[in-house]
Chains A and B, each alone.
Chain A
């Protein structure tokens, strides 16, 4: 198909979609309406189980099975990246050269690295209380680690980041989620049911039954997944060279 024909096809399809979508919007309940039956029920269920952050309660309690699916997508995406970006036979590794980074930038990276790691852990740990959770905190902690690449050089990062262990950590976190789910089957409840642990005192770290456990498992999984992903991309961009390379 020529570019021109493709553009016309796109315009026709886009115009059709735009018209139908606008017509649908006019019939939708107005923005900011007061009727949210699912939301009201989710909030009630969350408060009944002493989880202060109802969004975490929806993710890790009421729709924990759905989150299992999301986690599987994450796992599969990482697996795909690892396979796609592996070193092939016609490529070789060139050792990364040391980099001279301006001193203030280097110092900043070394100071902020621990602060960002602790913030990531804080966001994971308070997932069932204040905004945050495993998904967000895991990304923050994993990004923090890469300040070593930005502030120093790639060799510094490679020293503190044995990729193999993070791959194992990823798999362990995924299985921890499954095991916590299977534990729900004890006591004749359902898979991933939040019945095995006491709900605890409202608005404390140990409240919410299995929510903090699943939250921590997701935090570990996301952090390991992001580290493994970025490791593959960094390897490709910095170390691995094709045959034509020097």
Chain B
């Protein structure tokens, strides 16, 4: 059990990232592709937080526990991830705005049809 758990979170992060990439490359709809990109992002969150975890520790927030009374997990990776989550959402919004623009200009959101248009 513990030998598996030593690497399982990293492997799950890698799986989520790769499966998102697969969806991105095979997508037939740009809105679906943006959704897949947010799946890829989720993989990075899992990886970062897995690196910062410590067994039998709790969150480094001292509003309801006394400092030093319990071991805590790494706050640095959490700070990185939490800004990433919100900024990632606005980047998703920017990409969706691009999709709206593409559908206006080319009347399609299928990436394959788009490359045919250009060629």
Q: Which residues of A contact B (CB under 8 A)?
A: 3, 6-7, 10, 14, 17-18, 21-22, 25-26, 28, 30-34, 36, 38-39, 42-43, 46-47, 52-55, 57-59, 63, 66-67, 70, 73-74, 77-78, 80-81, 84-85, 126, 129-131, 133, 135-136, 138-139, 202-203, 222, 225-226, 229, 232-233, 236, 242
Contacts and interface: CB of A to CB of B under 8 A. Distances in A.
A22 B11 CA distance: 7
Contacts of B100: 84-85, 236
Contacts of A74: 86-87, 90
25 contacts: A3-B112, A25-B7, A28-B7, A30-B6, A31-B8, A31-B10, A32-B53, A33-B55, A34-B55, A36-B52, A36-B74, A43-B72, A53-B62, A53-B63, A55-B79, A59-B82, A67-B83, A74-B86, A74-B87, A77-B94, A84-B97, A85-B100, A130-B64, A135-B86, A232-B97
Nearest to A76: B94
Interface size class of B (residues with CB under 8 A): 35 or more
Contacts of A130: 61, 63-64
B75 A70 contact: no
B35 interface: no
Interface string B86-119: 1101110110111011001000000010000000
Given A14-B22, A25-B7, A31-B9, A54 B62 contact: yes
A78 B67 CA distance: 39
A81 B8 CA distance: 38
B93 A52 contact: no
A179 B104 CA distance: 40
B32 interface: no
Contacts of A18: 14, 18
Contacts, number: 161
Interface of B: 5-11, 14, 18, 21-22, 25-26, 50-55, 59-64, 67, 71-79, 82-83, 85-87, 89-91, 93-94, 96-98, 100-101, 104, 112
Given A6-B25, A32-B54, A225-B90, 18 more contacts: A14-B21, A31-B8, A34-B71, A36-B74, A42-B75, A43-B60, A43-B72, A43-B75, A52-B61, A53-B60, A53-B63, A55-B60, A81-B97, A84-B97, A84-B100, A84-B101, A135-B83, A229-B93
A237 to B, nearest CB: 9
Interface residue SS majority, chain A:
helix
Contacts of A10: 21-22, 25-26
